[in-house]
């Protein structure tokens, strides 16, 4: 193995439940440093008991970028490779060797696989590539939330798909700070297309439909907003907001814009198909779902959504096919849905009903 020293650095607050699992995963590194930002539970003592170097610093007002930068400054210069993770994340074993073997003196950052969520059967649901493994002294963190590594020297990124990081979040943890931090981020840099998109999405999560529509349209108007995947997502979110406001005509218009923007992504076809399904327009729903199924490759970006790649699409198209009298197709698709979601009783009942109609039609 090449002779590069690797340091994992992280920020944490009240994550005692994750400490042992995280340390077990990260201990392949040559050094682990944690900056605690104000825990009131046993996080700090548990980390220290496991031999981890812990520093304590509180930030008021809170910003993710400032905390990340403070933790990064704790990494000694002799550690060439810096690995930023959170305590709710776990590397698959052997990660350090893969990182070091992919590294050379010209590399400044690695991009690797990230399983952001898992389904009830433990299979990856939403996956994409991230790049938080980087060369020491070449980056700083920017933005109050949804912070990113920003190069301060010329960068050279390399893809290392063999490295896999899994995310097992605390679903009870509040994300209430995200909205004001995103508003601050956009105020600080109104031309940053990424955070404008995130702010519009956050407004949608809070059901602030008009604010979301206006912000997402601002995102689309920015000269720097050229990434089609993200533009497509903004258009889909605008459509969702219009639909929530009862404006179905406008919703359809924006879904069609989303399809035109990125016809290689499943999500837009499925979302408009569901709209048609709710209107009992089973033919248009079926047509769009068939188009979605023609797309076989999932994107490697955070834009991909779980519903586009799990049993949902097969479940929905089976119902549409059944209502159109395509009984054999309905049976085929519901069977595929059951393979992906075997504990779903409703799917089992649908299968039994579709089998009856298939036999009658023979």
pLDDT in the model for residue 283: 98
Q: For residues 105, 107, 109 and 110, what is the CA-based torsion angle, rounded to 10 degrees?
A: -110
Residue 361, pLDDT score:
64
Query: What pLDDT score was predicted for residue 300?
Result: 85
**E-strand spans in the chain?**
6-12, 31-36, 53-56, 81-84, 89-91, 109-118, 124-135, 139-142, 148-151, 157-167
Beta strands in 170-249 (DSSP E): none
pLDDT band at 5 (very low <50, low <70, confident <90, very high): very high
Q: What is the mean pLDDT of residues 350-356?
A: 91
| Domains detected in the chain | 6-167 (3.90.550.10), 185-281 (1.25.40.10)
Q: Give the pLDDT confidence score for residue 362 in this predicted structure.
A: 60
- Is residue 26 within 8 Å of residue 1, measured between CB atoms? no
* CA–CA separation, 7 and 328 (whole Å): 56
- Where does residue 132 rank: exposed (0-12), middle (13-18), buried (19+ CB within 10 A)? buried
CA-nearest of 288, 290, 291, 292 to 279 is 288
Task: State mean pLDDT over 242-252.
Answer: 98
Pairing of strands 157-167, 89-91: antiparallel
Q: What are 193-223's pLDDT values in tens digits? A: 999 999 999 999 999 999 999 999 999 999 9
Percent of the chain topping pLDDT 90: 93
Residue 44 reports pLDDT greater than 80 = yes
Do the Cβ atoms of 303 and 228 come closer than 8 Å?
no
Average pLDDT over residues 283-307: 95
The candidate with the shortest Cα–Cα distance to 141, out of 70, 191, 58, is 70
In the prediction, which pLDDT does 171 show?
A: 80
Give me the mean pLDDT over the 222-234 stretch. Answer: 98
Within 8 A by CB and 6+ apart from 40, the residues are 14
The model's pLDDT over 123-176, given as tens digits with 9 standing for 90+, comes to 999 999 999 999 999 999 999 999 999 999 999 999 999 999 999 998 877 777
* For the chain, percent of residues with pLDDT exceeding 70: 99
Query: pTM of the prediction?
Result: 0.92
């Amino acid at each position: 193995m090449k002779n590069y020293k690797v340091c994992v650095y992280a920020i944490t607050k009240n994550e005692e439940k994750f400490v042992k699992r995280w340390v077990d995963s990260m201990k392949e590194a040559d050094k682990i440093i944690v900056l605690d930002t104000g825990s009131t539970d046993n996080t700090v003592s548990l980390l220290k008991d496991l031999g981890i170097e812990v520093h304590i610093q509180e930030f008021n007002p809170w910003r993710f970028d400032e905390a990340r930068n403070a933790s990064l400054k704790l990494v000694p210069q002799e550690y060439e490779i810096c690995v930023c993770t959170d305590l709710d994340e776990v590397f698959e074993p052997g990660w350090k060797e893969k990182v070091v073997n992919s590294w050379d003196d010209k590399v400044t950052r690695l991009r690797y696989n990230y399983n952001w969520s898992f389904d009830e059967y433990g299979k990856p649901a939403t996956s994409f590539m991230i790049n938080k493994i980087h060369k020491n002294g070449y980056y700083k963190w920017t933005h109050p939330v949804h912070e990113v590594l920003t190069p301060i020297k010329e960068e050279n990124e390399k893809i290392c798909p063999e490295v896999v990081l899994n995310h097992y979040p605390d679903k009870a943890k509040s994300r209430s700070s995200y909205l004001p931090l995103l508003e601050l981020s956009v105020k600080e840099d109104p031309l940053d297309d990424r955070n404008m998109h995130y702010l519009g999405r956050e407004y949608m999560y809070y059901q602030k439909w008009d604010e979301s529509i206006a912000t997402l349209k601002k995102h689309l108007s920015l000269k720097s907003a050229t990434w089609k995947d993200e533009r497509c997502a903004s258009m889909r979110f605008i459509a969702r907001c219009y639909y929530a406001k009862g404006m179905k005509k406008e919703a359809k218009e924006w879904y069609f814009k989303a399809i035109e923007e990125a016809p290689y992504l499943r999500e837009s076809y499925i979302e408009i198909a569901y709209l048609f399904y709710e209107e009992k327009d089973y033919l248009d729903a079926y047509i769009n779902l068939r188009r979605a199924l023609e797309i076989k490759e999932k994107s490697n970006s955070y834009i991909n959504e779980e519903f586009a790649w799990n049993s949902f699409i097969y479940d929905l198209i089976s119902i549409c096919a059944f209502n159109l009298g395509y009984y054999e197709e309905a049976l085929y698709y519901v069977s595929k849905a059951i393979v992906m979601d075997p504990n779903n009783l409703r799917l089992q009942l649908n299968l039994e009903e579709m089998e009856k109609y298939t036999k009658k039609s023979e």
